[in-house]
Structure 1
């Protein structure tokens, strides 16, 4: 995993996000997979191990996705997360591009030869290749989750709400996890009264 000098995954800029989802991640599956990481603030393993039925129902993409407790770090509580409109588009495109999806495999992102789920190492390779082509440095699979949580904090979402989405056990753990963005740096400097 690429990290910044403080040992944390880099936070993506809006330009990097746009570039990754328009030019880097070229397959509907890849946009859906990393869209889950970004728009649901999911860890890569949580996204890789999603069940089809926890995201897509008889009428199409659900309004909420479910991350089951047994797929979370530390086997935390099951989380239900609202599906962002842009994520819904990525999931619909993916569903439409793979008509045999869920025919023999319960996972949303099947593994090689349709068995099990995609491995997080395979997802990492997909992202590394996209970043190499785009000449982006410092991006890791964890950058999407960290970016989402930091953007929520920047937007003024209460930490308890962010904690419910992220699944962090304590607010202290969540606060250590959040990054300081340029927006925060500039607003902090502008509040100084000399």
Structure 2
């Protein structure tokens, strides 16, 4: 099976523009950027609860503590929320009326929360509608890891961010691209 496409900034912008034309634009943007800025698996995104992300005073937390039941490998981990994601999550929260900590963070049209499968289908339809070929629900995760590698973040740190037990798995996520090769050659 082919790996999910790593998106360029231009392609991500294209997806965000398309998502803004659909129902629930604030939710769509927050969902997409959660994938691209946190690098979570689709099941981890679907299993997020309001209390995982929002403090009791309504502010966005600095980190998400994923429980073993929320992760693929059954190992709890901490995910740090970058400052540039917080305003997107805050904007989305203004559209939510229910404030209970145990409700799913992202809502659907018909139900309170996504299942991992329904969110995977949502991402597939989003990329297809935006005209991005080869992208999947894993594209945000691969794009984040590749982007951080491009910026010189070490593979050990990338493995922790991704929740991988092995750096060999993390290395498979990193796309060698022209920017990376140019930067490497400029080190000579």
Alignment TM class, shorter chain as reference: 0.7 to 0.9
Distance 1:19 1:41, change over 3 A: same
Counterpart CA distance in 2 for 1:102 and 1:31 is 22
Aligned counterpart, 1:93: 91
Match of 1:138 among 134, 140, 165: 134
Structure 1 alignment gaps of length 5 or more: none
Q: CA deviation at 1:190?
A: 5.7
- How much is the aligned-residue C-alpha RMSD, in angstroms? 2.3
Counterpart CA distance in 2 for 1:135 and 1:17 is 11
Q: Is residue 42 of structure 2 the alignment partner of residue 44 of structure 1? A: yes
Q: CA deviation at 1:176?
A: 2.2
The SS at the match of 1:66 is strand
Q: Is residue 125 of structure 2 the alignment partner of residue 129 of structure 1? A: yes
Q: CA deviation at 1:101?
A: 4.6
Match of 1:57 among 51, 55, 58: 55
The alignment covers a number of residue pairs equal to: 184
Aligned residues of 2:39 and 2:141 also touching (Cα < 8 A): yes
TM-score, with length taken from structure 2: 0.85
Aligned counterpart, 1:176: 172
Q: CA deviation at 1:114?
A: 4.0
Counterpart CA distance in 2 for 1:128 and 1:172 is 27
Aligned counterpart, 1:186: 182
Counterpart CA distance in 1 for 2:158 and 2:30 is 22
